[in-house]
């Protein structure tokens, strides 16, 4: 597809939902909570590894957001399932927003989780720092990397519990530090990202935007801006959740998604 390989998984039966993951993460992350819940709710769920994440093509020479949007469209076309419901988180949500503009024929409805239409000052600085660490070949101590990752992506309500904090630190440390050329190419997408809020006023499909109240990586006001830009979009904010809110508060996120899909696909 699009001259590259895309690794995907197709499970369940019913109305099709395509799920798009964020920067540096494989599609299998959805399998922890969202994919099985959507299958139980009667959906056919397609998850995949974005360009840059092996075993999909890493494309270390670099690529654009438009390339990733085209990959998602090509997968839907290849499977012959459009129009579909599309769900994305973080960079994946940005891809979903752009897909709804570029290929409205493929998008029946869309849910954007922990999303953004523009990069704030803090988000730009953090992304630049992540790229510089890789470019300077600096590897943080694993325990410190886990602590910083947890601080940026989890709610203080989670981390105040020492047992929960320890479990998360162990999971993050065990997962390692993704430093592949493909991940570096994904991080480059965040350099000089355009403000797309005005463009999103042209999105016409039913839309749900979910923000996480304690998200330090992409604060909820950025998600609300996207909802405000799209006529008729529904905004929901999940309490006690950071950027990984779909993992921290999966029951609430799943409830919101299943309710939205039930209404949008009826």
Q: Which CATH number fits the domain that encloses residue 44?
A: 3.40.50.1820
pTM score, two decimals?
0.96
Active site residue 90: yes
Measured CA to CA, the distance from residue 181 to residue 259 in angstroms comes to 38
Average pLDDT over residues 38-55: 97
| Percentage of residues of the chain with pLDDT beyond 70 | 100
Measured CA to CA, the distance from residue 39 to residue 37 in angstroms comes to 5
Average pLDDT, the chain: 96
pLDDT above 80: residue 130: yes
Q: Which domain holds residue 52?
A: 8-122+181-264
Please tell me which residue in 90, 119, 127, 155 is annotated as part of the active site: 90
Classify residue 229: in a domain, yes or no. yes
The Cβ of residue 1 has, within 10 Å, a number of other Cβ atoms equal to 18
Active site residue 215: yes
Classify residue 144: in a domain, yes or no. no
Classify residue 95: in a domain, yes or no. yes
pLDDT at position 185: 94
Tell me how many degrees the CA angle 261-110-114 measures, rounded to the nearest 5. Answer: 105
pLDDT at position 227: 98
pLDDT at position 2: 79
Please tell me which residue in 49, 71, 214, 215 is annotated as part of the active site: 215
Classify residue 168: in a domain, yes or no. no
Classify residue 142: in a domain, yes or no. no
Classify residue 219: in a domain, yes or no. yes
Active site residue 243: yes
Measured CA to CA, the distance from residue 104 to residue 187 in angstroms comes to 27
* Beta-carbon contacts of residue 236 (< 8 Å; ≥ 6 apart): 208, 209, 210, 211, 256
Classify residue 194: in a domain, yes or no. yes
The Cβ of residue 119 has, within 10 Å, a number of other Cβ atoms equal to 19
Q: Across 36-164, where does the E strand assignment appear?
A: 44-48, 84-89, 107-113
Number of domains in the chain: 1
Classify residue 151: in a domain, yes or no. no
pLDDT above 90: residue 13: yes
């Amino acid at each position: 597809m699009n001259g590259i390989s895309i690794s995907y998984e197709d499970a369940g039966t019913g109305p099709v939902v395509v799920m798009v993951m964020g920067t540096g993460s494989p599609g299998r992350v959805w399998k922890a909570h969202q994919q099985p819940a959507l299958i139980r709710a009667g959906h056919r769920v397609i998850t995949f590894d974005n360009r840059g994440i092996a075993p999909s093509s890493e494309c270390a020479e670099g690529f654009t957001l438009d390339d990733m949007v085209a990959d998602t469209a090509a997968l839907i076309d290849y499977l012959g399932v459009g129009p579909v419901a599309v769900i994305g988180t973080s960079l994946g949500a940005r891809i979903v927003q752009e897909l709804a503009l570029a290929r409205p024929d493929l998008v029946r409805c869309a849910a954007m989780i922990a999303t953004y239409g523009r990069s704030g000052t803090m988000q730009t600085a953090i992304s630049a720092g992540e790229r510089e660490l890789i470019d300077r070949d600096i590897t943080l101590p694993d325990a410190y990397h886990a602590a910083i990752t947890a601080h940026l992506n989890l709610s203080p309500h989670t981390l105040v519990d020492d047992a929960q904090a320890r479990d998360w630190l162990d999971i993050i440390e065990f997962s390692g530090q993704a430093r592949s050329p493909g991940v570096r190419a994904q991080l480059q997408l965040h350099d000089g990202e355009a403000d797309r809020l005005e463009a999103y006023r042209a999105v016409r499909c039913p839309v749900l935007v979910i923000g996480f109240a304690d998200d330090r990586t992409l604060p909820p006001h950025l998600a609300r801006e996207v909802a405000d830009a799209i006529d008729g979009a529904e905004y929901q904010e999940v309490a006690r959740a950071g950027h990984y809110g779909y993992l921290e508060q999966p029951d609430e996120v799943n409830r919101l998604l299943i309710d939205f899909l039930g209404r949008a696909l009826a």
